[in-house]
Amino acid sequence: MKILVTGGAGFIGSNFCHYCYAHEPSSQIEKIIVIDKLGYSGSIENISELMEKENFCFIQADICNQELITQLLFDEKIDAVIHFAAESHVDRSIDDPAIFVQSNVVGTFKLLESSFHYFSSLAHKDKEKFRFLHISTDEVYGSIPMDASPAKEGGLYAPSSPYSASKAASDHFVWAYYKTYGLPAMITHSSNNYGPRQHPEKMIPHMICNALEGKELPVYGLGLNIRDWIYVEDHCAGIWRVLCWGKQGEVYHIGKGSGISNIELVRKICSLLDIFFPRLTGKSYSELIRFVADRPGHDLRYALDVSKMKKELGWEAQMELEKGLEKTIFWYVEHKDWIRSVMEKGYALKRQGLYRKAKITS
Protein backbone atom coordinates (compact mmCIF):
# COMPACT_ATOMS: atom_id res chain seq x y z
CA MET A 1 0.00 0.00 0.00
CA LYS A 2 0.91 3.61 -0.55
CA ILE A 3 -0.51 5.36 2.49
CA LEU A 4 -1.22 9.06 2.96
CA VAL A 5 -1.17 9.95 6.67
CA THR A 6 -2.60 13.35 7.54
CA GLY A 7 -1.39 14.81 10.82
CA GLY A 8 1.47 12.31 10.73
CA ALA A 9 3.83 14.53 12.74
CA GLY A 10 1.39 14.70 15.64
CA PHE A 11 1.20 12.40 18.64
CA ILE A 12 -0.88 9.47 17.38
CA GLY A 13 -0.06 9.97 13.69
CA SER A 14 3.70 9.85 14.25
CA ASN A 15 3.40 6.84 16.52
CA PHE A 16 1.37 5.12 13.81
CA CYS A 17 4.14 5.72 11.26
CA HIS A 18 6.75 4.35 13.66
CA TYR A 19 4.51 1.36 14.37
CA CYS A 20 4.15 0.54 10.67
CA TYR A 21 7.88 0.40 10.06
CA ALA A 22 8.61 -1.47 13.29
CA HIS A 23 5.83 -4.07 13.29
CA GLU A 24 4.40 -4.61 9.82
CA PRO A 25 6.07 -6.51 6.95
CA SER A 26 7.86 -4.21 4.52
CA SER A 27 6.08 -6.00 1.70
CA GLN A 28 2.81 -4.41 2.82
CA ILE A 29 4.10 -0.83 2.87
CA GLU A 30 5.27 0.56 -0.45
CA LYS A 31 5.43 4.12 0.87
CA ILE A 32 4.13 6.35 3.65
CA ILE A 33 3.58 10.02 2.87
CA VAL A 34 2.93 12.34 5.80
CA ILE A 35 1.08 15.63 5.47
CA ASP A 36 1.24 17.93 8.50
CA LYS A 37 0.98 21.70 8.84
CA LEU A 38 3.14 21.54 12.00
CA GLY A 39 0.76 23.45 14.22
CA TYR A 40 1.13 23.39 17.98
CA SER A 41 0.52 19.63 18.17
CA GLY A 42 2.81 18.53 15.36
CA SER A 43 6.59 18.34 15.57
CA ILE A 44 9.17 17.44 12.95
CA GLU A 45 11.15 15.77 15.75
CA ASN A 46 8.40 13.15 16.01
CA ILE A 47 9.26 11.73 12.60
CA SER A 48 12.92 12.74 12.23
CA GLU A 49 14.07 9.12 12.59
CA LEU A 50 11.94 8.15 9.60
CA MET A 51 13.24 10.85 7.26
CA GLU A 52 16.11 8.72 5.97
CA LYS A 53 13.85 5.92 4.79
CA GLU A 54 13.50 5.79 1.03
CA ASN A 55 9.83 4.89 1.26
CA PHE A 56 8.94 7.74 3.62
CA CYS A 57 8.07 11.29 2.57
CA PHE A 58 7.09 14.36 4.60
CA ILE A 59 5.31 17.44 3.28
CA GLN A 60 4.52 20.44 5.44
CA ALA A 61 1.07 21.49 4.30
CA ASP A 62 -2.46 22.13 5.51
CA ILE A 63 -5.17 19.63 4.54
CA CYS A 64 -7.27 22.67 3.64
CA ASN A 65 -4.97 23.08 0.63
CA GLN A 66 -7.29 21.05 -1.57
CA GLU A 67 -5.35 21.58 -4.80
CA LEU A 68 -2.13 20.23 -3.27
CA ILE A 69 -3.84 17.23 -1.67
CA THR A 70 -5.62 16.33 -4.89
CA GLN A 71 -2.42 16.54 -6.91
CA LEU A 72 -0.62 14.45 -4.30
CA LEU A 73 -3.23 11.69 -4.44
CA PHE A 74 -2.96 11.48 -8.21
CA ASP A 75 0.83 11.80 -8.40
CA GLU A 76 1.49 9.16 -5.76
CA LYS A 77 -1.39 6.82 -6.70
CA ILE A 78 -2.44 6.54 -3.06
CA ASP A 79 -4.13 3.32 -1.87
CA ALA A 80 -5.28 4.52 1.56
CA VAL A 81 -5.83 7.80 3.39
CA ILE A 82 -5.55 7.70 7.17
CA HIS A 83 -6.91 10.95 8.53
CA PHE A 84 -5.41 11.88 11.91
CA ALA A 85 -5.07 15.62 11.31
CA ALA A 86 -7.11 17.55 13.85
CA GLU A 87 -6.99 20.15 16.54
CA SER A 88 -7.56 18.08 19.67
CA HIS A 89 -6.99 20.07 22.86
CA VAL A 90 -10.34 20.65 24.61
CA ASP A 91 -9.16 23.65 26.64
CA ARG A 92 -7.85 25.32 23.49
CA SER A 93 -11.18 24.66 21.75
CA ILE A 94 -12.96 26.52 24.52
CA ASP A 95 -10.63 29.50 24.07
CA ASP A 96 -10.73 29.57 20.26
CA PRO A 97 -13.37 27.30 18.66
CA ALA A 98 -12.98 28.84 15.19
CA ILE A 99 -9.62 27.11 14.68
CA PHE A 100 -11.26 23.76 15.45
CA VAL A 101 -14.05 24.35 12.96
CA GLN A 102 -11.53 25.27 10.28
CA SER A 103 -9.19 22.33 10.86
CA ASN A 104 -11.56 19.57 11.90
CA VAL A 105 -14.65 20.38 9.83
CA VAL A 106 -13.50 22.37 6.82
CA GLY A 107 -10.22 20.44 6.62
CA THR A 108 -12.00 17.09 6.65
CA PHE A 109 -14.50 18.28 4.04
CA LYS A 110 -11.73 19.39 1.68
CA LEU A 111 -9.83 16.14 2.23
CA LEU A 112 -12.99 14.19 1.40
CA GLU A 113 -13.48 16.25 -1.76
CA SER A 114 -9.94 15.52 -2.88
CA SER A 115 -10.25 11.85 -2.00
CA PHE A 116 -13.56 11.42 -3.81
CA HIS A 117 -12.27 13.19 -6.93
CA TYR A 118 -9.27 10.84 -6.95
CA PHE A 119 -11.32 7.74 -6.10
CA SER A 120 -13.75 8.45 -8.94
CA SER A 121 -10.88 8.33 -11.44
CA LEU A 122 -9.62 4.90 -10.38
CA ALA A 123 -10.03 1.69 -12.32
CA HIS A 124 -12.35 -0.88 -10.76
CA LYS A 125 -9.57 -3.00 -9.21
CA ASP A 126 -7.99 0.09 -7.64
CA LYS A 127 -11.35 1.26 -6.31
CA GLU A 128 -11.72 -2.11 -4.59
CA LYS A 129 -8.39 -1.52 -2.85
CA PHE A 130 -8.80 2.13 -1.81
CA ARG A 131 -9.76 3.04 1.77
CA PHE A 132 -10.41 6.28 3.65
CA LEU A 133 -9.93 5.76 7.40
CA HIS A 134 -11.08 8.60 9.64
CA ILE A 135 -9.69 8.70 13.20
CA SER A 136 -12.24 10.06 15.66
CA THR A 137 -12.74 10.16 19.43
CA ASP A 138 -14.94 8.81 22.20
CA GLU A 139 -15.78 12.40 23.13
CA VAL A 140 -18.41 12.67 20.38
CA TYR A 141 -20.71 10.51 22.54
CA GLY A 142 -20.58 13.03 25.39
CA SER A 143 -20.72 12.10 29.04
CA ILE A 144 -21.83 8.53 29.70
CA PRO A 145 -23.81 8.19 32.98
CA MET A 146 -21.99 6.26 35.68
CA ASP A 147 -24.66 3.55 35.74
CA ALA A 148 -24.95 3.28 31.93
CA SER A 149 -23.33 0.75 29.64
CA PRO A 150 -20.40 1.91 27.48
CA ALA A 151 -21.26 3.50 24.14
CA LYS A 152 -21.62 1.10 21.24
CA GLU A 153 -20.75 1.78 17.61
CA GLY A 154 -23.52 3.85 16.07
CA GLY A 155 -24.54 5.28 19.45
CA LEU A 156 -26.14 8.67 19.94
CA TYR A 157 -23.82 11.65 19.53
CA ALA A 158 -23.92 14.26 22.32
CA PRO A 159 -20.73 16.37 22.09
CA SER A 160 -20.11 18.84 24.92
CA SER A 161 -17.09 20.89 23.85
CA PRO A 162 -16.25 22.78 20.64
CA TYR A 163 -13.57 20.14 20.05
CA SER A 164 -15.93 17.16 20.28
CA ALA A 165 -18.60 19.03 18.30
CA SER A 166 -16.10 19.64 15.49
CA LYS A 167 -15.09 15.97 15.48
CA ALA A 168 -18.74 14.91 15.43
CA ALA A 169 -19.32 17.17 12.43
CA SER A 170 -16.33 15.68 10.62
CA ASP A 171 -17.65 12.17 11.32
CA HIS A 172 -20.98 13.09 9.73
CA PHE A 173 -19.25 14.41 6.62
CA VAL A 174 -17.29 11.17 6.29
CA TRP A 175 -20.51 9.14 6.48
CA ALA A 176 -22.21 11.44 4.00
CA TYR A 177 -19.45 10.77 1.47
CA TYR A 178 -19.73 7.04 2.07
CA LYS A 179 -23.52 6.90 1.82
CA THR A 180 -24.03 9.47 -0.94
CA TYR A 181 -20.95 9.04 -3.10
CA GLY A 182 -19.75 5.55 -2.25
CA LEU A 183 -16.36 6.64 -0.91
CA PRO A 184 -15.06 3.50 0.89
CA ALA A 185 -14.75 5.05 4.35
CA MET A 186 -14.40 3.70 7.86
CA ILE A 187 -14.33 5.49 11.22
CA THR A 188 -12.55 4.56 14.43
CA HIS A 189 -13.30 6.09 17.82
CA SER A 190 -10.56 5.77 20.39
CA SER A 191 -10.42 6.40 24.10
CA ASN A 192 -7.76 8.63 25.70
CA ASN A 193 -4.27 7.88 24.38
CA TYR A 194 -0.99 8.19 26.24
CA GLY A 195 2.63 7.32 25.54
CA PRO A 196 5.72 8.72 23.77
CA ARG A 197 5.63 11.96 21.76
CA GLN A 198 2.48 13.36 23.36
CA HIS A 199 2.44 17.14 23.76
CA PRO A 200 3.51 18.17 27.29
CA GLU A 201 0.27 20.14 27.67
CA LYS A 202 -1.73 16.91 27.72
CA MET A 203 -2.68 15.41 31.06
CA ILE A 204 -0.28 12.51 31.59
CA PRO A 205 2.92 14.14 30.26
CA HIS A 206 1.91 17.39 31.99
CA MET A 207 1.72 15.59 35.32
CA ILE A 208 5.02 13.79 34.73
CA CYS A 209 6.89 16.94 33.71
CA ASN A 210 5.41 19.11 36.45
CA ALA A 211 6.13 16.54 39.14
CA LEU A 212 9.77 16.12 38.13
CA GLU A 213 10.18 19.90 38.18
CA GLY A 214 8.56 20.17 41.61
CA LYS A 215 5.58 22.10 40.25
CA GLU A 216 1.94 21.76 41.30
CA LEU A 217 -0.17 19.00 39.74
CA PRO A 218 -3.49 20.66 38.81
CA VAL A 219 -6.56 18.40 38.84
CA TYR A 220 -9.93 19.70 37.64
CA GLY A 221 -12.78 19.72 40.19
CA LEU A 222 -12.48 16.77 42.55
CA GLY A 223 -10.77 14.58 39.97
CA LEU A 224 -13.73 12.22 39.72
CA ASN A 225 -13.99 12.29 35.92
CA ILE A 226 -13.60 8.79 34.47
CA ARG A 227 -11.50 8.05 31.39
CA ASP A 228 -10.41 4.90 29.60
CA TRP A 229 -6.70 5.10 28.78
CA ILE A 230 -5.08 3.19 25.92
CA TYR A 231 -1.34 3.04 25.26
CA VAL A 232 -0.72 4.68 21.89
CA GLU A 233 1.04 1.66 20.36
CA ASP A 234 -2.01 -0.49 21.14
CA HIS A 235 -4.16 2.12 19.39
CA CYS A 236 -1.86 2.05 16.35
CA ALA A 237 -2.09 -1.75 16.19
CA GLY A 238 -5.88 -1.43 16.21
CA ILE A 239 -5.83 1.15 13.42
CA TRP A 240 -3.67 -1.12 11.28
CA ARG A 241 -6.07 -4.00 11.89
CA VAL A 242 -9.02 -1.86 10.77
CA LEU A 243 -7.13 -0.60 7.73
CA CYS A 244 -6.30 -4.11 6.55
CA TRP A 245 -9.38 -6.09 7.58
CA GLY A 246 -12.11 -3.62 8.48
CA LYS A 247 -15.22 -3.32 6.33
CA GLN A 248 -16.05 -0.12 4.52
CA GLY A 249 -19.01 1.71 5.99
CA GLU A 250 -18.27 0.40 9.49
CA VAL A 251 -17.42 2.05 12.81
CA TYR A 252 -14.89 0.52 15.20
CA HIS A 253 -14.14 1.39 18.82
CA ILE A 254 -10.50 1.17 19.89
CA GLY A 255 -9.90 1.31 23.63
CA LYS A 256 -8.77 -0.59 26.67
CA GLY A 257 -12.33 -1.14 27.88
CA SER A 258 -11.70 0.00 31.44
CA GLY A 259 -11.93 3.24 33.37
CA ILE A 260 -10.07 5.19 36.03
CA SER A 261 -10.77 8.55 37.66
CA ASN A 262 -8.42 11.44 37.02
CA ILE A 263 -7.38 11.64 40.66
CA GLU A 264 -6.63 7.90 40.77
CA LEU A 265 -4.56 8.25 37.62
CA VAL A 266 -2.54 11.17 38.99
CA ARG A 267 -1.90 9.30 42.24
CA LYS A 268 -0.76 6.27 40.26
CA ILE A 269 1.70 8.45 38.34
CA CYS A 270 2.96 9.90 41.62
CA SER A 271 3.43 6.42 43.09
CA LEU A 272 5.50 5.31 40.10
CA LEU A 273 7.61 8.45 40.27
CA ASP A 274 8.13 7.84 44.01
CA ILE A 275 9.56 4.41 43.14
CA PHE A 276 11.76 5.29 40.17
CA PHE A 277 12.66 8.94 40.78
CA PRO A 278 12.20 9.63 44.52
CA ARG A 279 12.37 13.24 45.67
CA LEU A 280 15.39 14.37 47.69
CA THR A 281 13.00 15.55 50.40
CA GLY A 282 11.71 12.02 50.88
CA LYS A 283 8.14 13.27 50.37
CA SER A 284 5.70 11.80 47.87
CA TYR A 285 4.97 13.60 44.63
CA SER A 286 1.31 13.34 45.59
CA GLU A 287 1.74 16.32 47.94
CA LEU A 288 1.99 18.46 44.80
CA ILE A 289 -1.62 17.66 43.79
CA ARG A 290 -3.88 20.70 43.76
CA PHE A 291 -7.59 20.74 42.93
CA VAL A 292 -8.51 23.61 40.60
CA ALA A 293 -11.74 25.07 39.25
CA ASP A 294 -13.40 22.69 36.80
CA ARG A 295 -13.47 23.59 33.12
CA PRO A 296 -16.78 24.41 31.37
CA GLY A 297 -18.67 21.46 29.91
CA HIS A 298 -16.36 18.89 31.49
CA ASP A 299 -17.79 15.43 30.76
CA LEU A 300 -17.89 13.16 33.78
CA ARG A 301 -17.32 9.82 32.05
CA TYR A 302 -16.23 8.46 28.70
CA ALA A 303 -16.68 4.76 28.01
CA LEU A 304 -16.51 2.71 24.82
CA ASP A 305 -17.77 -0.79 24.17
CA VAL A 306 -14.73 -2.33 22.44
CA SER A 307 -16.10 -5.86 21.96
CA LYS A 308 -16.62 -5.45 18.20
CA MET A 309 -12.88 -5.13 17.59
CA LYS A 310 -12.21 -8.38 19.41
CA LYS A 311 -15.15 -10.27 17.93
CA GLU A 312 -14.79 -9.20 14.30
CA LEU A 313 -11.11 -8.31 13.91
CA GLY A 314 -9.45 -10.35 16.65
CA TRP A 315 -7.86 -7.31 18.28
CA GLU A 316 -7.66 -6.13 21.88
CA ALA A 317 -5.35 -3.79 23.79
CA GLN A 318 -2.33 -5.50 25.37
CA MET A 319 -0.61 -2.89 27.54
CA GLU A 320 -1.68 -2.70 31.18
CA LEU A 321 -2.02 0.82 32.51
CA GLU A 322 0.70 0.65 35.16
CA LYS A 323 3.26 -0.79 32.75
CA GLY A 324 2.30 1.75 30.11
CA LEU A 325 2.66 4.62 32.56
CA GLU A 326 6.07 3.31 33.60
CA LYS A 327 7.24 3.21 29.96
CA THR A 328 5.81 6.70 29.39
CA ILE A 329 7.53 8.16 32.45
CA PHE A 330 10.90 6.82 31.35
CA TRP A 331 10.39 8.12 27.80
CA TYR A 332 9.84 11.68 29.06
CA VAL A 333 12.75 11.44 31.49
CA GLU A 334 15.01 10.30 28.65
CA HIS A 335 13.77 12.91 26.16
CA LYS A 336 14.16 16.22 27.96
CA ASP A 337 15.67 17.78 24.84
CA TRP A 338 12.52 16.84 22.92
CA ILE A 339 10.32 18.44 25.59
CA ARG A 340 12.41 21.61 25.58
CA SER A 341 12.43 21.78 21.80
CA VAL A 342 8.70 21.37 21.21
CA MET A 343 7.84 23.80 23.98
CA GLU A 344 10.31 26.50 22.96
CA LYS A 345 9.77 26.67 19.23
CA GLY A 346 6.07 25.89 19.26
CA TYR A 347 6.42 23.41 16.43
CA ALA A 348 7.36 26.13 13.95
CA LEU A 349 9.15 24.94 10.82
CA LYS A 350 10.01 27.42 8.11
CA ARG A 351 10.07 26.05 4.61
CA GLN A 352 9.37 27.51 1.21
CA GLY A 353 8.04 25.75 -1.86
CA LEU A 354 7.15 22.71 0.21
CA TYR A 355 5.41 20.70 -2.46
CA ARG A 356 8.29 21.01 -4.92
CA LYS A 357 10.94 20.27 -2.32
CA ALA A 358 9.13 17.11 -1.23
CA LYS A 359 10.34 15.36 -4.41
CA ILE A 360 7.10 13.51 -4.93
CA THR A 361 7.33 10.84 -7.57
CA SER A 362 4.51 9.25 -9.44
Could you list the active site residues? Answer: 138-139, 163
Query: CB under 8 Å to 40, separation ≥6 — which residues?
Result: 89, 92, 199, 346, 347
User: In what helix (H) or strand (E) does residue 186 lie, and over which residues does it extend?
Assistant: strand 185-190
Q: Are 135 and 82 in contact (CB under 8 A)?
A: yes
DSSP 279-345: -TT---GGGGEEEEPPPTT--SB--B--HHHHHHH-------HHHHHHHHHHHHHHTHHHHHHHHHH
Query: What distance, in Å, lies between the first and last C-alpha atoms of the chain?
Result: 14
Judging by DSSP bridges, how do beta strands 289-292 and 56-60 pair with one another? unpaired
Q: Give the whole-angstrom CA distance, residue 138 versus residue 151.
A: 8
Phi/psi at 82 (5° precision): -115, 115
Q: Which of 108, 44, 58, 62 is nearest to 82 (CA)?
A: 108
Q: Give the whole-angstrom CA distance, residue 355 versus residue 333.
A: 36
Chain CA centroid to CA 151, Å: 19
Q: Give the whole-angstrom CA distance, residue 46 versus residue 116.
A: 30
The vertex-236 CA angle with 330 and 14, nearest 5°, equals: 65
Cα–Cα distances (Å) from 136 to 84, 86, 193, 291, in that order, read: 8, 9, 12, 30
Q: Give the whole-angstrom CA distance, residue 172 versus residue 174.
A: 5
Region of residue 297 (phi > 0: left; psi between -120 and 50: alpha; otherwise: beta): left
